[in-house]
């Protein structure tokens, strides 16, 4: 089992480096666009997708009159896609991290989460301090079904992290997987609620011990990344309720 500490300052620099626009640029762009809406193209309303299948998510941006907007009409930092399993009431997991603002398609491996009321939520905007908040677009008019597949897809499922994490102390993380024995896992952490991830270390075990930096307080989100025998990358889902806060013990 590995143990490694990460410089918080390096992670902060990584997150800052992902911002590609100034706050004034984004504000002006969103004001000029009057917050355009996302219109989902695929999956279609009522579609049935199977766990383990790879499907293509497609969408477009439209103005208040329903006119499709081109790339030149839209300017912000990034996009994200979330999945709801209850018709949009709650967002259960994050499908993507940061997408380029020009993207309009995303390949997606359907998780083993059967439901009759799956809904996607598209966000656009900027998350960094000083920027406008992201704008959500829950696609309640495009529900679709997720049904079991012929075989269970390769998965990594993190066990819940402790509700309290303290700076300067050791944190034990663990997960379950159906990947082959001996698979190497990359244990990653995000300091911005899943916006960017950095590696803490690698292990072939199903657990990992991390020395939480003594000088850090704030949000942490964890992700485990492995690979199948045919080279496909498998990531543990980023659960919306999986964020934790690091505090200093009194």
Q: Is the pLDDT of residue 157 over 80?
A: yes
Could you tell me if residue 220 is inside a domain?
yes
- Return d(Cα 208, Cα 174) in angstroms, integer: 6
CA 98/CA 20 separation, integer angstroms: 12
Question: Which pLDDT does position 125 carry in this prediction?
Answer: 84
Mean pLDDT of 120-147: 82
Q: What is the CATH number of the domain that holds 105?
A: 2.60.40.10
Residue 172 domain flag: yes
Looking at the whole model, is its pTM more than 0.75? no
Write out pLDDT tens, residues 170-219.
999 999 999 998 999 999 999 988 878 999 999 999 999 999 999 999 99
Q: Among 120, 147, 174, give the residue marking a domain's end.
A: 147
Q: Which of 122, 147, 172 is the last residue of a domain?
A: 147
The C-alpha atoms of residue 40 and residue 61 are separated, in whole angstroms, by 9
pLDDT 10s digits, 26-75: 444 444 446 789 999 999 999 999 998 999 999 999 988 889 988 776 76
Which residue has better confidence, 4 or 62? Answer: 62
pLDDT at 135 over 90: no
DSSP state of 232: -
- Number of domains present in the structure of the chain: 2
In terms of residue numbers, what domain contains 160?
8-15+154-247
Q: How many CA atoms lie within 13 A of 164 on its CB side?
A: 5
Alpha carbon of 136 to those of 70, 112, 177: distances in Å?
19, 25, 32
Let me know whether 187 and 99 are in one domain: no
Higher per-residue confidence, 60 vs 5: 60
| Contact assessment for residue 38 and residue 125, using Cβ atoms and an 8 Å cutoff | no
Looking at the domain assignment, is residue 60 inside a domain?
yes
Instruction: Report if residue 63 sits inside a domain.
Output: yes
Sign of CA dihedral 22, 25, 27, 29: negative
Report DSSP letters for 34-101, one per residue.
TSPEEEEEESPTT-EEETT-EEEEEEEEE-TT-PBP-GGG---SEEEEEEESSTTSS--EES-S-B-T
Tell me: do 182 and 135 sit in the same domain.
Answer: no
Does residue 74 share a domain with residue 100? yes
Count of residues in the chain: 250
pLDDT reported for residue 128: 55
Does residue 126 contact residue 29 with C-beta atoms inside 8 Å? no
Final residue belonging to a domain, choices 96, 117, 147: 147
């Amino acid at each position: 089992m590995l143990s490694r500490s990460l410089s918080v300052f390096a992670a902060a620099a990584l997150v800052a480096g992902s911002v590609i626009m100034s706050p004034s640029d984004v504000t002006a762009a969103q004001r000029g666009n009057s917050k355009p809406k996302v219109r989902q193209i695929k999956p279609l309303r009522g579609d049935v997708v199977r766990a383990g299948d790879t499907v293509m998510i497609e969408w477009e941006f439209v103005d208040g009159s329903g006119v499709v907007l081109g790339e030149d009409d839209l300017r912000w930092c990034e996009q994200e896609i979330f999945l709801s399993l209850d018709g949009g009431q709650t967002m259960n997991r994050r499908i993507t991290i940061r997408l380029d603002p020009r993207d309009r398609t995303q390949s997606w491996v359907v998780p083993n989460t059967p439901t009759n009321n799956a809904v996607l939520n598209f966000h656009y905007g900027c998350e960094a301090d000083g920027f406008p908040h992201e704008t959500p677009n829950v696609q309640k008019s495009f529900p679709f079904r997720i049904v079991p597949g012929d075989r269970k897809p390769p998965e990594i499922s993190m066990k819940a992290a402790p509700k309290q994490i303290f700076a300067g102390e050791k944190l034990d993380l663990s997960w379950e997987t159906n990947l082959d024995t001996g698979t190497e896992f990359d244990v990653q952490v995000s300091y911005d609620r899943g916006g960017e991830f950095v590696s803490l270390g690698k292990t072939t075990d199903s657990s990992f011990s991390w020395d939480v930096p003594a000088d850090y307080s704030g949000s942490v989100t964890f992700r485990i990344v492995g690979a199948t025998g045919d080279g496909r990358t498998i990531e543990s889902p980023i659960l919306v309720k999986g964020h934790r806060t690091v505090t200093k013990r009194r």
